[in-house]
Chain A
Amino acid sequence: MIARPPAGTPRTYRFPDFVRHQLPSGLGVWLVPLAERELVSVHLVTDAGAATEDEAQAGIAALTAQLLVTGTERLDAATFAETTERLGISVGSESTWDSARAGFTALGSKLDDGLALLAEMILTPRLDAGEFERLKGERLNDILQARADPGRLAEESFLREVYAPDVPYGRLAAGVPESVRALDVASARAFHDAHYAPGVAHLVIAGAIDPDVALAAAERHLADWSGAGTGHRTFEPRQRGGRRVVLVNRPGSVQSELRVGHVGIDRHHPAYVPALVMAALLGGVFGSRLNRRLREELGYTYGARCTFDPRRAAGPFTASAAVQTEVTVDAIRELLGQLERIRSEPPDEAELAAVRDFLVGVFPLRFETTPGIAAAIEPLAVYGLPDDYWQTYRSRLEAVTVDDVLAAARDLVRPDDALILVTGDASRVRDELAAADLGPLEVVPAA
């Protein structure tokens, strides 16, 4: 057999150049022309995510985003759906904590038609009471469905238990049944009035465009849009207590869904880049320490991983795995052991290089598609990152050293403070968890 072949000569790759404008209304317009493409992606990103809503109305941002696609003053829900889809355009509209995004990807020839309909939807949405009640019902049902799914139940439970009770991040961005039930179409109309405004919005158009034509189309279709927008709240995410174990009882489960972690970092954290590298090494690639140990050595799980979820404020850091019920306690010890080890045992150069080379090398692949490039502009707009952010991204990754990884781990991974959340069959794991000396145990029913 022939030995491993050497690599060829790499071709250079640059993140596509873009131009940025600001319309008199305050709307940011980002144009990313891409040569030899068929498609255009339009993303309208607005500071209308869950961080802008009152806690008493938790879920209104998500519902309002969804409600937008149910028609305009001119076109009812059925007609709007038919009109867009007959053009080959599926309009999407959804929100996260930090922003709401409405948009579509279509053949380049449909840019003007699509932008006209998107603008109509944002400026003069129908916000129909009947459609609102339907979507609200669907949302409540979805929360019920999510709680029957072990992974989604673990996710919701982890957030609730890891954040202090008054921190908004302690719930899903979509809200909780108690808050969603209280919402009505008037709250959606008020939310739309307050938060869908060009002063807090950015329009990204990427793909098969002539930038001058695209800019003119944006100006023409969005000329009547005005308003400064209210913007988002700020808050300080605090953790609820230190090391403890919460068992969410899901009778009949044949696996335990494990979530081990604590409050993590925000998007502007100075160690953001080393943290990315450290998290990839610990639980972000196939050969990461967590996956290698729990899957490839022990066979406890189909996959083990960890992630930060950086937002405007500190999102969670979570190590996770779904393990067969019989090994629940052992698997927790193994997870914790890897969280300890990353703090005490620095990677050797080869281990670090493999992960760093992955993150650097996979860069062009991340931006292969037109909607992928449009999405890459969003964090620049939402978090105010510098225009050359992607141009300098790889050199910032390459600069990360073994010492940086160790420092990030010691600062940002805190197993002694970790919440250990288990979603599983209490009748089979409660006693063992109580005897395991992992921290005080609390057993709660599935929400």
Chain B
Amino acid sequence: MRTAARAAIAAIAFTGLVPGEAGAHLVTTGLGPFYDGISHFALTPEDLLPVLAFALFAGLSGPSAGRAVLFVLPVAWLSGGLLGLSRSTELLMPALTAATLLVLGALVALDRRLPMVVVAGLAAALGLFHGYLNGTAKLGALGLSGVAATLFVVVALVAAYVVSLRAPWSRIAVRVAGSWLVAISILMLGWAFRAG
């Protein structure tokens, strides 16, 4: 876990060396690119919902998985973002977000414990993918750092809360939330392929 923490600190420090440029179409708070990144994440449900879903899943998977996700997800997000900074994408965002939510919601709803390596791998995949999309949106290195910091806080709070749940009904409530995410993702697929 210390290695993961060191990697996180190194990745965040590295962003200071990468020239960042705030995109004109992104949320501008007037407080600087770091806060623009935080606002972008908080106001972009396509990013926020999958992260919340993964935090729920990490919490249900136990403290070890939660700690791994806490570091892997922000680092992967940042890495993906840096990779995407100089690129553009034509990806079908709503359909991909729906697919991500469908998988994560199903994992939460089913409450299946997966090996920690698999959980960390899924976190890395989610982080790289969404981070890359953030990068192609020209969020800038500092903006990406803001996103990564917010991710860390969100995952820490949500996963820790879920880990702390002891009453059987409370875990069921989390699983119901997972089923809602599945329902949302199914509807989103309908929106993505809407007729007319």
Answer yes or no: do A and B interact: no
- B residues near A (Cβ < 8 Å) are none
